Amino acid sequence: MNEQLPPPDEDTTDFGFERVPRREKQRRVRGVFDSVAARYDLMNDLMSGGIHRLWKRLTVELAGVRPGQRVLDLAGGTGDLARQFAARVGSEGEVVLADINRSMLLAGRRRLDDAGVVGNIDYLIADAQALPLAEGSVDCITIGFGLRNVTDKQRALHEMYRVLRPGGRLLVLEFSQPTVPGLKPLYDWYSFHVLPGMGRLVAGDADSYRYLAESIRMHPDQETLKDMLEVAGFARTQYFNLTGGIVAIHRGYRL
């Protein structure tokens, strides 16, 4: 059994390309998502050309959840993954849609209520670094495009390990590092020139989407994140590169 880690030191961490006090990052990330919550789904479709839906569908497939199981969708935002999991776990199962940001969680709840996804889904404001859940209480955890925003990623991974049941699995869907030759300069140009402009026009906020591009570059690459899962205790770890490595899904199990 992995013991919980002590509180992180009060030093600095990354907020995009900036260095900020650790205690400050959470507040600033919250501000980013408060700003973009209303247009979050539209921007996801525009930024990825709709491909994010395929990435999320593959994540759900790789999770392999069964009827009656309990799923925790961390940083679940507007509920794309939670909606699919709710259909798979059925009336005897449960999906907990969790997010540290109240604005995003409310947007997700409205969206799922409007779609009739009710009865087997609960909502939780939660910090991935200190989950208010019992040890060994969930069968599967997903975190989609949220880990890079966490102040102490290693601590969060330990927490995810703690709340999983033996045999449970974690899936991290996150932007990563391009692996196809010649793709990186094109991706960089798109990220730092197109995305902020799109954010300004659609969401009225160029700075938040500039942070998005920067936070991706500061996130651990595929092999480093795989190592971090293993440090947290996960076994049978592997990752799947998608869209030339722009996105990767990491999976690990609690044995």
Give domain status of residue 6, yes or no: no
pLDDT at 6 over 70: no
Question: How far is C-alpha 29 from the geometric centre of its chain's CA atoms?
Answer: 13
Give domain status of residue 242, yes or no: yes
pLDDT at 37 over 90: no
Confidence at 10, pLDDT banded by 50, 70, 90:
low
Tokens standing for residue 220: 């651990």
The proportion of the chain whose per-residue pLDDT surpasses 70, expressed as a percent, equals 96
What SS3 class is residue 194? helix
pLDDT for 114: 96
pLDDT for 190: 93
Report how many domains make up the chain. 1
The proportion of the chain whose per-residue pLDDT surpasses 90, expressed as a percent, equals 76
pLDDT for 7: 47
pLDDT for 62: 98
Residues near 206 by beta carbon (within 8 Å), at least 6 away in sequence: 196, 197, 199, 200
Give domain status of residue 201, yes or no: no
pLDDT at 168 over 80: yes
Q: Which domain holds residue 247?
A: 12-180+208-253
- Most confident among 38-47, 209-218, 236-245 (mean pLDDT): 236-245
Q: What angle do CA 188, 52, 148 make, to 5 degrees?
A: 60
Taking residues 82-111, report their average pLDDT: 96
* DSSP β-bridge partners for residue 247: 175, 242
pLDDT at 5 over 50: no
Q: Domain holding 149: CATH number?
A: 3.40.50.150
pLDDT for 1: 38
